[in-house]
Amino acid sequence: MNIVGIVVAMRIEARCITNRHLPLGEIINLGDNSKICLCGMGESAARKAATKLQEEGATSLISFGVSGALDPKLCPGDLILPQSIYNERLLPVSLAWRDRVQECLPSNLRVIGGKLATSKKVLTSSNEKYDFARITGASAVDLESGAVAEVAENSNTPFLAIRAISDPIEFSPPLALLDAVNPDGSANLSKIISLLLQRSVALSTLLRLGRDVRTARATLSTVALHAGIELGTQSNQSTTTY
């Protein structure tokens, strides 16, 4: 039987798959065919989660969540189903698995292939994104997929990344906002209010960020709804091959 291990960094991403409360860093069974770990942001946390999922029986791995655009043509809500991962070197994706997920999705969902890159830090300006795109040749960026892909490659485990664009190339989370984010990606409201009062972050910026993230989450929820059988969250995958 194939058991899918899903790595999510932020609570708002995990809620696109399940409404269950997920303690940070713990493995939670979603049924007979899938497990999920809310790991927190960054490569180190994602690597630890992927390894722990395998130790607890996962036979394939998914990196699931939001990403930033490196291509000016990409908009919030576009779905990234990459054909490779860049994390200082190219890492493989199970293309057959990727194609099956795409076949499950409604035709109105815009799906992008190509390359997804992992960054060591949040890119907070258009210039940083353009520079990273030039270096990596990727169309989108996140913080975790490279680590999960490395764990999968090292154990010869099928891997898939499912990412929705939350910030376009011309608009990024401001640097000051990063200190107001909890380990699970949720907002520290007292710090947010302080930033607003100090005018370090504009209310219009927060409103746009919130809108774009909601658009990305709607895409991720659509994937979970229509391709749940490939995520292990619906039916039985025991006969699926990768």
For residue 36, what are the β-bridge partners?
6, 28
Range of the domain at 25: 4-173+216-231
Does residue 242 fall inside a structural domain? no
> What is the rounded distance in angstroms from the CA atom of residue 99 to the CA atom of residue 201?
41
pLDDT of residue 79: 98
Does residue 208 fall inside a structural domain? no
- Looking only at the bridges linking them, the beta strands covering 27-29 and 34-38 are antiparallel
Does residue 128 fall inside a structural domain? yes
Answer positive or negative: Cα dihedral of 123, 127, 133, 136: negative
Count of domains in the chain? 1
Q: CATH number of the domain that 35 lies in?
A: 3.40.50.1580
pLDDT of residue 237: 44
Q: Is 41 left (phi over 0), alpha (psi -120 to 50) or beta?
A: beta
pLDDT of residue 181: 86
Does residue 86 fall inside a structural domain? yes
Does residue 136 fall inside a structural domain? yes
Mean pLDDT in each 10-residue stretch from start to end of the chain (242 residues)?
95 96 95 94 97 97 98 97 97 98 97 96 93 97 98 97 96 86 87 90 91 97 96 65 48
pLDDT of residue 241: 43
> What is the rounded distance in angstroms from the CA atom of residue 185 to the CA atom of residue 216?
15
> What is the rounded distance in angstroms from the CA atom of residue 201 to the CA atom of residue 135?
29
Does residue 32 fall inside a structural domain? yes
Does residue 185 fall inside a structural domain? no
pLDDT of residue 239: 36
Does residue 236 fall inside a structural domain? no
